[in-house]
Amino acid sequence: MGLHLSNSLMIWNQSVTGAKQYRVDDQFWHPRVRESLNILGSLMKTEEDWQAFHHAVERQASDRADKMLAGIAKYLAHPYRRPESMAVEAARLGNCRLYDFGGEGKPILMTPSLINPHYVLDLKPGRSLAIFLKERGYRPFLVHWFDPGDEEFGFGISDFVMKRLVPFLDHVVRVAGGPVPVLGYCMGGTLTTALAARAQKQISRLALVAAPWDFDTEKPHAGKKYAPVMAEALAKLPPGMPLPVDAVQTFFTSVDPTLNDRKFRKFADMNPATEAAEFFVALETWANTGAPLPRQVADEVMLGWYRDNQPGRGKWLVDGKPVRLSDVKCPVWIAAPEEDRLVPQESAYAMLQGLPDAIAHDPGAGHVGMMVGSKARSGLWEPLLKWLEE
């Protein structure tokens, strides 16, 4: 939150100086806005026009900053709290839990990322993939990673796969009496790919949603640029110290430093009693929640994945052996939107090259929007259900 504030206030403070200078040929301006600026500048015919314009910019910049702060205050004061989930704890290993949504449906294991909370797959009524599947004949089992305990703080990614996902999968397979479908979201998808390679006979189908695999795509991406920054930060941390969640949040904020200002100013005008306002609060709370990343996991992800592209090069070790896509024998559905700036589509689709039986799907929304946004049902949930039923 501090970083959001700092970015927004700096942007609006500096805009006043920018207006006074108004150099359209300045390298500060992106080529895509220069023409608009030229036209806007042509409106000012006299020195009085410019002076009035400067005063208006100064006042409105201050108003925008105030409105962003008002939006944050309104968010913090909003009464919405996530309703208690209908899922019950089915198993616990260390500090990791497996939630069971119950019923007589077909069991499916759902695995979120290690970065943000598990409940993005069950955000709130009407915004829950887990409930959507339950209402259509499935019995979701959802992995809850947080918060790492003493044991998990000593884990690498391989440990999370072999000592947590494998036993959780065993549990779901026992309930089902046979192989089950598995869904992995974001980094959880990369982990379940390793799971599918190690537990081939227990997985009937694998759905990967925005799961990064090739970290050395031709198209540059934010994670690739951030990896050296994180490598430098990790080198400065005391040995074994987990990666603070703020370090990861800094990355998300840096992908678009204007996003939070725009979001909170929009929220300031929202009727707090609406579903849209509740959804905003639910999602923002989810996005701003996280747990420290165990140090070995942070090293493996930032250095092994993003810097060295170990998964894409077949060098990523889980249980002491490289994870090979050719070992994933079940049908795989790879959902990855083109507009995802956190996990480039190219990175996720790279798996199509190595998987024996895989198809691709573009959900047509962003990294998080495809899971819980207005297009989630038509873009992701229904196509997923159709594929599961094939």
Partner 1 sequence: MVFDALPQGKLCICTKKIILRQKPTSYTDFVMRNEETEQAADLFLTLWQENIRLWAQERDLLPHSELADLLRADIPGHKRQGDASERS
DSSP state of 99: E
**CB atoms near residue 306 (< 10 Å):** 23
Among the listed residues 70, 233, 255, 268, the single contact to partner 1 using CB under 8 A:
255
In 119-247, where do the E strands start and end?
138-144, 180-185, 203-209
As measured in angstroms, the least distance from the Cβ of 168 to partner 1 is 34
Write the CA distances from 319 to 45, 73, 194, 199, 236, integer angstroms.
71, 47, 9, 12, 29
Q: Which is nearer to partner 1, 37 or 90 (CB)?
A: 37
Specify whether the CB–CB gap between 159 and 95 falls below 8 A.
no
Specify whether the CB–CB gap between 144 and 96 falls below 8 A.
yes
As measured in angstroms, the least distance from the Cβ of 370 to partner 1 is 19
Q: Which stretch binds partner 1 (CB under 8 A): 3-11, 113-121, 188-196, 352-360?
A: 3-11
Among the listed residues 5, 9, 15, 136, the single contact to partner 1 using CB under 8 A:
15
Binding of partner 1 by 26 (CB under 8 A): yes
Among the listed residues 5, 9, 22, 366, the single contact to partner 1 using CB under 8 A:
22
Binding of partner 1 by 23 (CB under 8 A): yes
Count, residues near partner 1 per rule CB under 8 A: 66
Q: Which stretch binds partner 1 (CB under 8 A): 34-42, 149-157, 277-285, 382-390?
A: 34-42
Within 295-354, the residues that bind partner 1 by CB under 8 A are: 341
Specify whether the CB–CB gap between 65 and 122 falls below 8 A.
no
Among the listed residues 102, 105, 257, 364, the single contact to partner 1 using CB under 8 A:
257
CA distance 131 to 123: 10
Within 204-233, the residues that bind partner 1 by CB under 8 A are: 220-222, 224-226, 229
Specify whether the CB–CB gap between 166 and 160 falls below 8 A.
no
Binding of partner 1 by 37 (CB under 8 A): yes
Nearest to 316 by CA among 158, 115, 152: 158
Q: Computed from CA positions of residues 59, 61, 62, 63, in that sequence, does the dihedral angle turn out positive or negative?
A: positive
Among the listed residues 25, 104, 232, 390, the single contact to partner 1 using CB under 8 A:
25
Specify whether the CB–CB gap between 317 and 192 falls below 8 A.
no
For binding to partner 1 (CB under 8 A), which residues are involved? 3, 6-7, 10-12, 14-15, 17-30, 32-33, 35-37, 39-50, 52-53, 56-57, 59-61, 64, 220-222, 224-226, 229, 250-251, 253-259, 261-262, 341
